[in-house]
A and B are shown apart, each in its own frame.
Chain A
Amino acid sequence: GESVGLHLPTLSVQEGDNSIINCAYSNSASDYFIWYKQESGKGPQFIIDIRSNMDKRQGQRVTVLLNKTVKHLSLQIAATQPGDSAVYFCAEKRPGNNRLAFGKGNQVVVIP
């Protein structure tokens, strides 16, 4: 079945430090991955995506790394800010399948 999971349930990080959130996925056929951020009481919001033919993609203060060999995905947030406090979900998509399979989420708490 579908299985996307996160290693750490909660990450506490000092404001200004870098954050790394990890995600393991189980389906080697997945060809597209997305990171979403969900603030309390809100719906998930797109952060960054990456296709399986890439191993790194950068956005504004965020970088996603994909290691297909070990089926691992990570999200790096540079200079973490209080507004980055949220739950972060990774999601995977398989070819020909329009649904996204989400992991359980990882809480990030930024300490001012």
Chain B
Amino acid sequence: GAGVSQSPSNKVTEKGKDVELRCDPISGHTALYWYRQSLGQGLEFLIYFQGNSAPDKSGLPSDRFSAERTGGSVSTLTIQRTQQEDSAVYLCASSLVGGPFANTGELFFGEGSRLTVL
């Protein structure tokens, strides 16, 4: 498709289990972001990938959270030993950084993966 695709759209898991969330960015977009949105809250930055550069992991809330981006395209966000406070919508976004719209900052968001930890 033409937009950012995320899967699964909904995930219910038990406390202590590991989960993986997937993001397929827009083709050609070099920047990829993960944000977390708790109920009724704004978007909390988690991690940022740009090309082959080292990712900016400064937003990850704990060492239970990690993310990879393989081949400069698909990204996976992994949460280990999930806790109830991890319940949120996890949003992925991509942007065309360095192209003709460099520094516009416009992010194209997916529809998110809703995680519920019981």
Residues in chain A within 8 A of chain B (CB atoms):
4, 32, 34, 41-46, 49, 89, 91, 93, 98-105
Contact = CB atoms under 8 A, between A and B. Distances in A.
A99 B106 contact: no
Nearest to B95: A98
Given A102-B45, A104-B40, 10 more contacts: A32-B103, A32-B105, A42-B111, A43-B112, A44-B109, A46-B106, A49-B106, A89-B42, A98-B97, A105-B42
B84 interface: no
Interface in B88-114: 91, 93, 97, 103-112
Interface of B: 4, 31, 33, 35, 40-45, 48, 50, 56, 59, 91, 93, 97, 103-112
B104 A43 contact: no
A49 B95 CA distance: 15
Given A34-B105, A43-B109, A45-B109, A99 B50 contact: no
A4 B104 CA distance: 19
A89 B35 CA distance: 14
B42 A104 contact: yes
Contacts of A98: 31, 48, 50, 56, 97, 105
A99 B56 contact: yes
Nearest to B104: A49
Given A98-B48, A103-B42, A105-B42, A43 B106 contact: no
Nearest to B103: A32
B63 to A, nearest CB: 20
B109 A100 contact: no
Nearest to B108: A46
Nearest to A4: B42
A102 B104 CA distance: 16
Q: Which of B44, B50, B109 has the most CB of A within 10 A?
A: B109
A10 B4 CA distance: 29
Contacts of A104: 40-42
